[in-house]
């Protein structure tokens, strides 16, 4: 766990990562609602995703809190995975927790034989884009007017890929 401490920004809470199961569905749903998405996931949707054997779900926990302050979900297919969602609680953003969480998640995917990881991020979400690029993701495409926004407008998606092998 020393590698986790090295990734944290100074003054950030100690953190640990771990796989999530359906007991955390309510917490994942609450976090997803903080993610700025036009439609947040409900606990039942989160439980179904977490229970799906093709989905890998990791959480990050600050200090001794038994509830995650962030999560990442990926769906595996053959030797590829798509990151479906990554959210860090508003109160813990800019502490380096996203980097720790994604690092642990990508290591787990690599151990499971995943060779390529894909994700989409809203064009203009600079903090997320910078994080993904710093981990080695590169842009491979764009989807114009892909995301519906809460104000009724549309935003493009940047499609990114990371080669693990």
Q: Of 8, 52, 47, 4, give the one whose Cα is nearest residue 24.
A: 47
Active site residue 132: yes
Judge whether 120 counts as a catalytic residue: yes
All domains of the chain in start order, with CATH: 2-118 (3.40.630.30)
Q: Write out pLDDT tens, residues 122-143.
A: 999 999 999 999 999 999 999 9
Amino acid 12: pLDDT: 54
Per-position pLDDT tens, the chain of length 165: 343 444 445 555 578 999 999 999 999 999 998 887 778 889 999 999 999 999 999 999 998 899 999 999 999 999 999 999 999 999 898 889 999 999 999 999 999 999 999 999 999 999 999 999 999 999 999 999 888 877 888 989 999 999 997
Q: Identify the active-site residue in 80, 95, 132, 147.
A: 132
Phi and psi torsions of 71, nearest 5°: -155, 160
Q: What is the pTM of this model?
A: 0.87
| Other CB atoms within 10 Å distance of the CB of residue 27 | 19
| Catalytic residue (one of 80, 82, 118, 120) | 120
């Amino acid at each position: 766990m020393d590698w986790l401490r090295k990734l944290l920004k100074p003054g950030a809470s100690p953190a640990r990562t771990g796989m999530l199961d359906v007991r955390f569905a309510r917490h994942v749903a609450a976090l997803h609602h903080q993610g700025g998405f036009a439609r947040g996931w409900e606990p039942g949707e989160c439980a179904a995703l977490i229970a799906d054997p093709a989905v890998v779900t990791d959480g990050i926990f600050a200090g001794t809190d038994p509830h995650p302050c962030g999560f990442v979900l990926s769906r595996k297919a053959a030797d590829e995975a798509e990151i479906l969602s990554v959210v860090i609680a508003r109160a813990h953003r800019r502490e380096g927790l996203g980097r720790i969480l994604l690092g642990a998640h990508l290591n787990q995917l690599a151990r499971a034989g995943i060779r390529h990881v894909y994700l989409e991020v809203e064009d203009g979400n600079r903090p997320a884009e910078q994080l993904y690029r710093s981990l080695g993701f590169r842009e491979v495409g764009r989807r114009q007017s892909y995301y519906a926004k809460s104000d009724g407008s549309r935003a493009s998606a940047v499609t990114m890929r990371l080669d693990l092998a």
